[in-house]
Amino acid sequence: TQLLEQSPQFLSIQEGENLTVYCNSSSVFSSLQWYRQEPGEGPVLLVTVVTGGEVKKLKRLTFQFGDARKDSSLHITAAQPGDTGLYLCAGDRSGGSYIPTFGRGTSLIVHP
Amino acid sequence: DARVTQTPRHKVTEMGQEVTMRCQPILGHNTVFWYRQTMMQGLELLAYFRNRAPLDDSGMPKDRFSAEMPDATLATLKIQPSEPRDSAVYFCASLPGRTITGELFFGEGSRLTVL
């Protein structure tokens, strides 16, 4: 069983649509990261959330950390083809040593 | 432009052969991770080092995998003997000693195919 469950696994949408992807766990995390990975490359950090209930915005991307620090969501407004990629959440339970465990990811394709 | 460098980028080998993957972490980063990525399992942590000392390698099959960090600029992951089920993309990532974001810096990966 995966410590972090991401849903949906795949998402194919048209340019301009909104979408939300989820990252859920039964464990509490001291921090949670979202990464984006493009084909043939390694993941690149988008954001870190630390406080329960925290909301962070990065242009058209909105990240929320659950109040209990067990889950998170990523909302993209007006998706663009450049948003295409694999979105990975990673949770750290080590209390700040940053030993992250990754979910399997949501593969997003945005069609022009 | 500081980056994690991995070699080789691609490796095709036959079952039973030894495979060695190398990683040069970002200068000054004191924690180095090895991950394996497959469609089925996603990114799995194989091992990690802090200040060159191995802290956890419980994610690695012990009988065939070994990870070392002979110096601060080189981490290696060796598979001997390799098996078809080892086919995956292997990522190295490094982390600075002091971090607020917990950002892992990943290399571009080594894609391994074992026939």
Q: B4 and A42: CB-CB below 8 Å?
A: yes
Select the residue of B56, B102, B109 nearest A42 (Cβ to Cβ).
Answer: B109
Question: Stretch B74-80: mean pLDDT, rounded?
Answer: 97
Cα-trace Rg, chain A: 13
Residue B101 clears pLDDT 80, i.e. is over it: no
Q: Nearest chain B residue to A38 by CA: give it.
A: B108
Q: B42 and A44: CB-CB below 8 Å?
A: no
Distance of CA B37 to the CA centre of its chain: 10
Residue A17 clears pLDDT 80, i.e. is over it: yes
pLDDT band at A34 (very low <50, low <70, confident <90, very high): very high
Phi-psi region of B52 (alpha: psi -120 to 50; beta: other; left: phi over 0): left
Q: Retrieve residue B34's tokens.
A: 């090895």
Give the pLDDT score at A1: 60
3-state secondary structure of A4: coil
How deeply is B12 buried, as exposed, middle or buried, from its count of CB atoms within 10 A (0-12, 13-18, 19+)?
Answer: exposed
Contact A88, A37 (CB under 8 A): yes
What are the φ and ψ backbone dihedral angles of B2, each rounded to 5 degrees? -70, 135
Q: Nearest chain B residue to A105 by CA: give it.
A: B42
Give the pLDDT score at A96: 65
For residue B94, give the nearest of B61, B70, B64, B72 by alpha carbon. Answer: B72
Give the pLDDT score at A99: 84
Q: Beginning with the edge strand found earlier in the chain, give each strand of the sheet holding B74-79 in spatial order.
A: B5-7, B19-24, B74-79, B65-71
Question: Stretch A90-99: mean pLDDT, rounded?
Answer: 79
Determine the distance in angstroms separating the CA of A99 from the nearest CA of chain B, rounded to an integer: 9
Contact B106, A42 (CB under 8 A): yes
pLDDT band at A64 (very low <50, low <70, confident <90, very high): very high
Predicted confidence (pLDDT) per residue in B60-74, tens digit: 988 999 999 999 999
Q: How many CA atoms lie within 13 A of B55 on its CB side?
A: 15
Give the pLDDT score at B102: 80
Secondary structure (DSSP) of A71-87: EEEEEESS--GGG-EEE
Give the pLDDT score at A5: 95
Predicted confidence (pLDDT) per residue in A35-63, tens digit: 999 999 999 999 999 999 999 999 999 99
Q: Nearest chain A residue to B5 by CA: give it.
A: A42
Residue B30 clears pLDDT 70, i.e. is over it: yes
> If interface means Cβ-Cβ distance under 8 Å, which residues of chain B face chain A?
4, 31, 35, 41-43, 45, 48, 56, 91, 93, 95, 99-104, 106-109
